[in-house]
Structure 1
Amino acid sequence: MSNITVVTRGLAPFDLYPYNPSATAAWTFLVLFAIVGVVHIVYMFILRAWFAMPLILGCVGEAFGYYGRAQSHDNIRNGGMYLIQLMLLLAAPPFLAATIYMSLGRIIRSLEGERHAMIRVTWLTKIYVVVDIACFVCQMAGSAMQSSGDPAGTKLGINIVLGGLGFQIFAFVIFVLMACRFHYRLNREPTWISREPSIRWRRCMWVLYATSLLVLVRNFYRIVEFGAGSDSAVYKSEVYLYVLDGSLMWLLVLFLIIVHPGALFRAARRLKKLGGMSSEEDEEAISLTDRK
């Protein structure tokens, strides 16, 4: 009688995880991302913050990614669930990052601070939308190639993911530098609307810095995880995933609930409807002050 190994359709002939994924942790994070996602949906309609749609999609991706991990518990050879969690947990953060990118451009326009921006606001948004799409494609393509079972394809997939993560880190560093420059120049030469006590724009800027830092730390963790290989302690323990990825991305979404940029934009719209100095009048006032 020949020795034949039967592999059920959809199951890999080897363990896809170096551990048994925790169902409790996965279901917990699924619920956490579902809650903050629903809150952002409510805020989107209340504040007319349509720019937050990518953030909501990112929450959906994170939630379903952890669903894949929950389903992988006691079933670590299920290729379908493994692929779902791998692709979604890699691809969801670029959607979260997109809202951070778009928030800066809207803050600049709301405060009428275009003259303080490093590049034109319209170009800022377009460039970072392209960056985000590129990062998303890299994460999706790379993670799909890792599930091929071919060692060469797996290695190439890892390199593509690493390239996408590294590119996102570079883009975020440039983004933070542009935000800092705008923040510094607006402090030195405030516009009429940024001087209004009801326009609390500085805390929005600090939230952008905080959320950007969370994305950077998460990306560094993922680079270490993929770069160190399957024998590393980082890869063999899922604790790192929840501490340095899931928790950080959930905090990112939570910070944007506590200080929602849409509230600033709504306050700025209302103030402009009530009337105030125009941008030209503001510049003239600053010029007259400087002469004195």
Structure 2
Amino acid sequence: MSSDSNEKYKYYHYDPSLAAACIFAVVFGITTIWHSILIAKHRTWYFIPMLVGGIFEIVGYAARGVSSGQAPHLTIAPYVIQTLLLLVAPALLAASIYMILGRIIVSVDGESYSLIKKRWLTKVFVTSDVLSFFIQLGGGGLMASSKASSAKLGSHIVLAGLLIQIIIFGFFIVATLVFHLRLRAMPTTQSHDPSLPWKKFLYILYTSSAFIMIRSIVRVAEFVEGFEGVIILHEVFLYVFDGVPMAAVMAIFDIWYPSSFSKQARKVRLHAESVESNRELSNVELQSK
């Protein structure tokens, strides 16, 4: 693609596959519907970002299907929709994954083993994730411009957002690993509770994080290569290194749903509030005597 600002940007370098788009729209449709059922059943509201991410994936692949039917006279609307939604959906999936670690830490009473205190854990990772989300969203919007120069600027912005996401995820994996090793060396009373399979779910976090990391690294390579690179010129890379990993993340949490940690975290929080309330009441009684 030329840097000439008057040159039109070619939306696709191929005719998008209708079959592939439909398959992935259906796959994400199934996993997203099941997530909505699990969220309602277990009141795990922190999984709503993952649910929204699933909806983004559905609409994104549906838009690709629409684009396939428009060849060779492609219109911009479906391209913009699929570009933006497929680009930012993984950030929403990541937001829920970050919050799972916080609930595991609270449930096993392992805050002293965490690199970051619970009250900051979610804030640090989710805030950084939101920043990455909006950077990618803004860059993706520019990429949909009909001018080559604007599209190129947009790709650089998206690249910055993806790099931030990789840094965040790298730090998250390190924080999870440190917590895991510390808790294994010095287990708490709660960590012996058989109803809290914290080891299994930490491995699930590693696996899901690896899928998102792989996807982000390939996306970074795509934007580093530019608009004439191997990755962007071949549709198969989108499905193998974006669609499949994100569908795998959704499926993992459909099968292994961490509802036990959510319930235990609520119990711990209510107990802490009760203890604090009793302490305040005792102080008031002592002062009144």
Please, what TM-score do these two structures have when normalized by structure 1? 0.86
CA distance in structure 2 between the aligned counterparts of 1:121 and 1:14, rounded to whole angstroms: 46
Report the identity percentage: 36
The Cα RMSD (Å) is 2.1
CA distance in structure 2 between the aligned counterparts of 1:42 and 1:201, rounded to whole angstroms: 23
More displaced, 116-125 or 55-64? 116-125
Match of 2:184 among 174, 183, 187: 187
Amino acid at match of 1:25: A
Partner of 1:178: 175
Tell whether 2:15 aligns with 1:37: no
CA distance in structure 1 between the aligned counterparts of 2:252 and 2:104, rounded to whole angstroms: 16
CA distance in structure 2 between the aligned counterparts of 1:32 and 1:264, rounded to whole angstroms: 27
CA distance in structure 1 between the aligned counterparts of 2:265 and 2:211, rounded to whole angstroms: 27
CA distance in structure 2 between the aligned counterparts of 1:13 and 1:264, rounded to whole angstroms: 52
CA distance in structure 2 between the aligned counterparts of 1:73 and 1:272, rounded to whole angstroms: 51
1:185-214 CA deviation, whole Å, 9 max, x = no partner? 111111111112222111110010001111
Match of 2:75 among 73, 78, 100: 78
Tell whether 2:135 aligns with 1:138: yes
1:112-158 CA deviation, whole Å, 9 max, x = no partner? 11111111111111111211111111111001111222232212111
Match of 1:100 among 84, 93, 97: 97
CA distance in structure 1 between the aligned counterparts of 2:69 and 2:58, rounded to whole angstroms: 20
Amino acid at match of 1:247: V
Amino acid at match of 2:113: H
Superposed counterparts of 1:260-279, under 5 Å = 260-266=257-263
Q: Which has the higher helix share?
A: 2
Partner of 1:46: 41
Shift of 1:181: 0.6
Q: How many residues align structurally?
A: 264
Cα pair 2:25 2:62 within 8 Å, conserved:
yes
Shift of 1:235: 1.1
Tell whether 2:229 aligns with 1:229: no
Superposed counterparts of 1:191-210, under 5 Å = 191-210=188-207
Partner of 2:53: 58
CA distance in structure 1 between the aligned counterparts of 2:20 and 2:174, rounded to whole angstroms: 36
Partner of 2:278: none
CA distance in structure 2 between the aligned counterparts of 1:160 and 1:44, rounded to whole angstroms: 34
CA distance in structure 2 between the aligned counterparts of 1:152 and 1:230, rounded to whole angstroms: 12
Higher RCO, 1 vs 2 (CA within 8 Å, ≥6 residues apart): 2
Match of 1:69 among 58, 64, 71: 64
Shift of 1:175: 0.5
Tell whether 2:87 aligns with 1:90: yes
Superposed counterparts of 1:113-124, under 5 Å = 113-124=110-121
